[in-house]
């Protein structure tokens, strides 16, 4: 029996044939995809071996589409939980170890009680143990300095970091458009390796857009 269409999302490329985003990977449901094809907003690059039928149409399900109009990505990335972790590559900035997202926290480099702000340049990713150890002390008081100074990343920098986290499912037709790790290594093998190494368990822990995409209160 064939899997349901729900398991057949389309990889969405910008008009320059690069994915709109790497992490999370830009995917549209088959319904969104078919609608965009009808509205003539996308080109179909590749297909699944599946066909959708309705009264008006019969079409092979697209597996890769590209936007007809280029979407510029020079806007500034939103200051979200997800983007802070992505900037820091899901790695504690104090002990330098990668952690699954549920074990990561934020740390205010200059604590709030000392006037530190909740902003790109004062918040870093920290594991719970390091966060607890640091407490409300200043970096020089406890000898704990972030490995990489906090900074506001560009969309490009986040995109580059996103490439290091391949999703667990990659349709074969997507591979030509994605660069993950070494080019000689099949992308799905890379995915397994990355998952084993750092236990991120993508994507189940990442699917709550409300949680991860919520803008953080700056102040």
Nearer to Zn ion among residue 77 and residue 98 (C-beta):
98
- Rounded to whole angstroms, the Cα distance separating 116 from 2 reads 55
CA 80/CA 74 separation, integer angstroms: 17
Q: How far is the CB of 94 from Zn ion (least distance, A)?
A: 5
Least spacing, CB of residue 96 vs Zn ion, in Å: 7
Please list the residues that pair with 98 across neighbouring strands: 91
Q: What distances in angstroms separate CA 127 from CA 98, 157, 184, 196, 198, one per listed residue? A: 9, 22, 33, 19, 14
Output the DSSP codes for 48-97: EEEEEE-SS-EEEEEEEEEESS-----SPPP-BHHHHHHHTTTB-TTT--
d(CA 105, CA 134): 12
CB nearer Zn ion, residue 66 or residue 131: 131
Nearer to Zn ion, 48 or 94 (CB): 94
Interface with Zn ion, residue 95, by CB under 5 A: yes
Is residue 92 part of the contact set for Zn ion (CB under 5 A)? yes
Whether 79 and 69 have beta carbons less than 8 Å apart is answered as no
Is residue 52 near Zn ion by the rule CB under 5 A? no
Which residue's CB is nearer to Zn ion, number 142 or number 209? 142
Nearer to Zn ion, 90 or 180 (CB): 90
- Using the contact rule CB under 5 A, the part of the chain among 17-25, 81-89, 106-114, 126-134 near Zn ion is 126-134
Contact segment (CB under 5 A) with Zn ion among 17-25, 80-88, 89-97, 189-197 equals 89-97
Half-sphere exposure of 210 (CA within 13 A, CB side): 0
Binding of residue 127 to Zn ion (CB under 5 A): yes
Residue number, 132 or 189, with CB nearest to Zn ion: 132
Question: Which of 28, 90, 94, 165 is close enough to bind Zn ion by CB under 5 A?
Answer: 94
Q: Quick check: 133 binds Zn ion (CB under 5 A)?
A: no
Return residues touching Zn ion (CB under 5 A): 92, 94-95, 127, 130
């Amino acid at each position: 029996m064939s899997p349901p269409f729900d398991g057949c999302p389309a990889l969405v490329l910008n008009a320059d044939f690069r994915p709109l985003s790497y992490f999370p990977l830009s995917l549209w449901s088959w319904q969104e995809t078919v609608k965009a094809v009808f509205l003539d907003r996308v080109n179909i690059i590749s297909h699944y071996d599946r066909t959708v039928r309705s009264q008006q149409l019969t079409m092979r399900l697209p597996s890769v589409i590209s936007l007809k109009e280029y979407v510029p990505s020079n806007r500034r990335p939103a200051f979200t939980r997800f983007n802070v972790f992505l900037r820091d590559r899901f790695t504690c900035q104090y002990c330098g170890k990668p952690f699954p997202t549920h074990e990561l926290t934020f740390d205010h480099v200059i604590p709030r009680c000392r006037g530190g702000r909740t902003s790109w340049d004062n918040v870093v990713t920290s594991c719970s143990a390091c966060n607890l150890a640091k407490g409300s002390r200043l970096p020089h008081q406890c000898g704990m300095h972030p490995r990489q100074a906090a900074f506001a990343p560009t969309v490009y920098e986040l995109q580059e970091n996103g490439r290091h986290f391949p999703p667990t499912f990659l349709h074969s037709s997507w591979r030509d458009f994605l660069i993950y790790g070494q080019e000689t290594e099949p992308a799905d093998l890379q995915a397994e390796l990355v998952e084993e190494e750092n236990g991120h368990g993508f994507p189940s822990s990442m699917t709550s857009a409300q949680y991860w995409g919520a803008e953080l209160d700056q102040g």
